[in-house]
Amino acid sequence: MQHRCFGDGESVSGYRAVPIEECGDPLVAIPATAFSFTEPHPYAALDAPYGGSSPWMLRQRVLAALLQAQDELDVCRPGWRLKLFDAYRPVPVQAYMVWREFGRQAGLAGRSLTSYGSPGELQVGDPDLYGILAAKVFEFWGVPSDNPRTPPPHSTGAAIDLTLQDAAGREVDMGGAIDETSERSYPDHYAQAASPQMRAFHENRTLLAKAMAAAGFCRHGNEWWHFSLGDQMWAWTQGKPHAIYGRAK
């Protein structure tokens, strides 16, 4: 049986190797009237272990930037709103959702896991299975590390998953669901599309990205819905020497 866990002994590269100089900016509640929210919260509905924490929190400066992004959107599309899907995610929640995705991917491949769902660890019977699943899962999901030097982006309180809602209160079609682990999730998947519908998907994604970028956010390279400001991914993408947000709480 193969046992995998993530902690102080893991090797890191890419954005996870960026040093963190924590600025101490507090986690604050996202005001209920400022945005539209996905309800019920998608991970809480799956009994993810929040332990009394609210998912609707961000670092104070990140929230201020998100409010600015909403203002930017309103200029371009009066009456439209940012629709939030997920924000703060404690490490146990990240682990729960990642190992749930491992189980889902194993099922799609006609395989099974010995166990999953425990914070920070996964057990499989086939020594090759972990690598096959990890290549797919970690293309989209952050590693649920409990190492303070390599926090999952959402566990810093500096990352947000979101989409758009139009002036009539309808969620805008972005051509793929949030958390979909396929090429449709790539931000520019529809950039060269010929059909008017698919071109509209790209235009909607571009609108979201422009509003967020105007407020200082950077977008995940593989996910049209994920944006961050101040975490390791942001610093790596922006060429900053260090991140200003580590693991919150």
The domain limits of the chain are 2-47+55-238
> CA angle 207-208-214, nearest 5°?
90
Give 111 or 17, the one with higher predicted confidence: 17
Nearest to 21 by CA among 249, 247, 243: 243
Supply the pLDDT for residue 131: 81
Residue range 49-90, pLDDT digits in tens:
999 999 999 999 999 999 999 999 999 999 999 999 999 999
CA 38 to CA 135: how far, in whole Å?
A: 29
Domain 2-47+55-238 bears CATH identifier 3.40.800.10? no
Confidence of residue 114 (pLDDT cuts 50, 70, 90): low
The C-alpha R_g of the chain, in whole angstroms, comes to 18
Let me know: does 224 contact 160? Beta carbons within 8 Å: no
Residue range 159-211, pLDDT digits in tens:
999 999 999 999 999 999 999 999 999 999 999 999 999 999 999 999 999 99
Which active-site residues does the annotation give? 223
